[in-house]
Amino acid sequence: MKIIAMAAVSALAALATAACTQTGSTERGAVTGGLLGAAAGAVIGNNTGSGDAGQGAAIGAATGAIAGGVAGASSDRNTEAVGYGPNGEALVYDGSARRYYYVDRRSGRTYWANGDYRG
């Protein structure tokens, strides 16, 4: 139980840190996936087979990092700029609204590609 608690606390701390980074989704996905995979692997490794939590954590971390990196890279590809705003800002696709927007460099506000305020 002690291992489960330590793994859970480590995973939550890492998720909070990963969410605040300025890097792309690939890096955040790899870090998050690795940490969650390590936690899950430690629990599974401790409760099955030879009871080796360390080996389970290592396998889970590697698998989670690869899966998270692939998922993050897919997200990065979906947000690549395909055009530019009026002041040369890159347009970014908002999947939930199915529209492109840009961030005004001077004010930091976001606008839809047609110039309407996004909020």
Bigger pLDDT: 21 vs 115: 115
Give the model confidence (pLDDT) of 33-84 as tens digits: 777 887 777 777 777 767 677 777 778 777 887 877 777 766 666 555 577 8
Domain boundaries, the chain: 2-78, 80-119
Give the model confidence (pLDDT) of 75-96 as tens digits: 666 555 577 888 888 888 888 8
pTM of the model: 0.41
Report the distance separating Cα 106 and Cα 85, nearest Å: 13
**Phi, psi of 17, rounded to the nearest 5 degrees:** -70, -45
* Mean pLDDT, residues 91-111 taken together: 90
